[in-house]
Structure 1
Amino acid sequence: MMKQIHLRLDDNQYKEVAEYAKMAGMTVQDSVSTAIYIMLSKQKKKKYTHKFTFIDLFAGIGGMRLAFEEAGGECVYSNEWNKFSQQTYMANFGDMPDGDITQVNADDILDHDILVAGFPCQPFSIAGISKKNSLGRATGFADKTQGTLFFDVCRILEAKRPKAFMLENVKNLCSHDKGKTFKVITESLNELGYEVFYKVIDGQLFVPQHRERIIIVGFDRERYGSYFDFEFDIIPKEPKPVMADILEKNVDDKYTLSDKLWTYLQNYAAKHRAAGNGFGYGIAPLEGVSRTLSARYYKDGSEVLIEQDGKNPRKLTPRECARLQGFPDSFVIPVSDTQAYRQFGNSVVVPLMAAIAKLVVKKLEELKVTNGVNGYREVV
């Protein structure tokens, strides 16, 4: 339920608010609402003893930032191009992320200890690399990754030389283009002088959602040498969370599927079952885990539905989606349901990322006095 208030501004104040709103791609009303959210979030913000600094690239709504702040970090720079995600990020952290990362001068970014990025997966041009190899010419990360957003991660790593990085992506990154994309990524990070480790981890260790993601971490060989190991020693949450834990008690009827949509989803599922396919809606077990929440959830909610007595199933509410990703209830959702579904579907499992962040920080502390094995490898 939305409430309305009347606000009096003098001409100069209104002019400044209107100019800011235009710059941020928001309405005047949204910009005022965001300013109020920022004020409230600053009052509620936890006070941390900052052990390290980090930057938040492809920041989305700040899931990785929450994780690294929990590990004791201070964010000194953020970047996110989507204006609705920027709005949510600003409402919760009081920072407006930079926009187009391809236009950012890496030297203008503040020095930092850890680079954090949930970069998009884009295809790499293998043909160009093969041609250079056949001519006996060396290829560096710029040749291999130019034209992709991963290139921007690499150029910032090269320019700022942080002690470590942590990257997150979909599980399929490993198999994309028959493994060639992932090979380019790991080789590029190695050429930049980082000792690289990776593992596919399921978010259901911390939340009631099957969500596999690849985590790639790296440590600067120029600082720490190459004779060391890194283990993803993650302790799962106990007791194991289930869907019933994240559900709201009183849910508006607008989240219940219409008869038309419910009939369509049932027919669609029956059609694919008959063809031997596994496509169709998913009723989430209350004492189990759900399917993976995706950015398309706003369309029909079919991958994660909640059964109801005497009614059609319903979609999750935006707050339930936030909980399914491990966001705290204090996290502000200033956007429409449609945008919220997209944002949480694109985000990360916050407590899982926080657990890995703490391991990275712990390793950095150990590396002040120790080091070990050469090259990159998968951690099993």
Structure 2
Amino acid sequence: MKKFTFIDLFAGIGGIRLGFESVGGRCVFSSEFDADACKTYQANFGEYPSGDITKINAKNIPDFDILLGGFPCQAFSIIGKKEGFNNETCGTLFFEIERILKEKKPKAFMLENVKNLTAHDNGNTFKIIIKHLEALGYNVHSKVLNALDFGVPQKRERIIIVGFLDNVKFEFPTPICVSKRKKIGDILEKNVDKKYYVKDEIKNSRLQRLKNKNYPKPYISHENMAGSITPHPYSSALRAGASANYILINDERRPTEREMLRLQGFPENFKIVVPYGKIKKQCGNSVAVPVIRAVAANMLNAIKGLK
């Protein structure tokens, strides 16, 4: 397999990096703003990411083949509506990706974001993003992919945007066969410490509101806005800002740190160096590694000319 280089922007704890390293990529630069995420990243990759991307000159970034970024989505600037196309993305973190692509002109990029990006502001935000990427000379492809289809027991839908300078033939990966997908039972730890178990009153309250009282264990349930408890044979999407008991296993306990990492497809040797609340936030902000690996493999197939 040919080696290629990439940069890891808005790196978090390195989920996207893991996916691209697994198909032969080498990271030459990373950037992350959050100090706790940087601590986890350093423990696992041996490097502390550069800080705030808005303060980094694109000229100082080493040359690379593919730009990667799970960029945070903030609303786009109203200024753009008054000042035209060039200023539409000002003040957003997408603008940082745009200026680096403009300066470095890599062969390709892959961006990841929440599914709702496609609907934000009646689809205008997404249209602006695609238009700006195409204006830089890239052939752009986008699709919503679900982590459930790629082997982890978590329903997590994310928009993936990829682009190539050359007009290559690219297709998004297809779901893996059901028999190869992990089930909840495959990711659960045995002999879990009692600190993960919820108080009896929480447990009883959840069980009373459980939609299907005879649902087979193990299951994962979450509480929706209306307060009803729905069991599933998979986890709902891990969320950075979710309440402590947002998802519970068998309505008895919270998932452990390792179980949350497994729900995102992280390897068993991934080091946990921050407290529970922080790893919960980091997993919620991260990506399902098998989804990224599948996209990375298809991108490489498309760019057969990578040196």
How many Å apart are 1:278 and its aligned residue? 5.7
Give the SS at the match of 2:110: strand
Identity %: 48
1:110 equivalent in structure 2: 62
**Greater share of residues in strand:** 2
Q: Which amino acid aligns with 2:171?
A: E
| Counterpart for residue 21 of structure 1 | none
Counterpart position of 1:320: 259
1:342 has 2:281 as partner? yes
Q: CA deviation at 1:289?
A: 1.7
Give the C-alpha shift of residue 229 in structure 1: 3.7
Shift of 1:301: 2.6
Q: Mark the runs of 5 or more structure 1 residues left unpaired by the alignment.
A: 1-48, 134-138, 271-276, 369-380
Does the Cα contact within 8 Å between 1:282 and 1:291 map onto a contact in 2?
no
- Quick check: 1:248 aligned with 2:189? yes
Q: Are 1:279 and 2:209 an aligned pair?
A: no
State the SS of the aligned residue for 1:345: helix
Structure 2 gap ranges (5+): 212-223
**1:237-279 Cα distance to aligned partner (Å, 9 max, x none):** 5422211110001101111111344456578889xxxxxx863
Which deviations, in whole Å up to 9, do the C-alpha atoms of 1:89-110 show, x marking residues without a partner? 0000001001111000110000
**1:68 aligns to 2:20 (yes or no):** yes
Instruction: Provide the secondary structure at the position in 1 that maps to 2:172.
Output: coil
Residue identity matched to 1:306: I
Deviation larger for 251-260 or 92-101: 251-260
Q: Does 1:79 align with 2:31?
A: yes
The alpha-carbon distance between structure 1 residues 178 and 328, as it changes in their structure 2 partners (threshold 3 A), is: same
CA distance in 2, matches of 1:70, 1:128: 41
For residues 1-380 of structure 1, the aligned pairs below 5 Å read 51-125=3-77, 127-132=78-83, 139-140=85-86, 143-205=87-149, 206-220=151-165, 224=166, 226=167, 228-236=168-176, 238-262=179-203, 279-280=226-227, 282=229, 284-285=231-232, 288-297=233-242, 299-302=243-246, 304-307=247-250, 313-365=252-304
| Structure 1 equivalent of residue 219 of structure 2 | none
Does the 8 Å contact 1:114/1:166 carry over to 2? yes
Larger Rg: 1
Question: Structure 1-normalised TM-score?
Answer: 0.72
User: Could you tell me how far apart the structure 2 residues matched to 1:169 and 1:349 are?
Assistant: 12
Per-residue displacement from partner, 1:169-226 (whole Å, max 9, x unpaired)? 0000000111111011101101111110000010002201111000000001xxx2x4
The alpha-carbon deviation at position 131 of structure 1 amounts to 3.0
Letter in 1 for 2:227: G
Whole-angstrom distance in 1 between the partners of 2:208 and 2:188 = 27
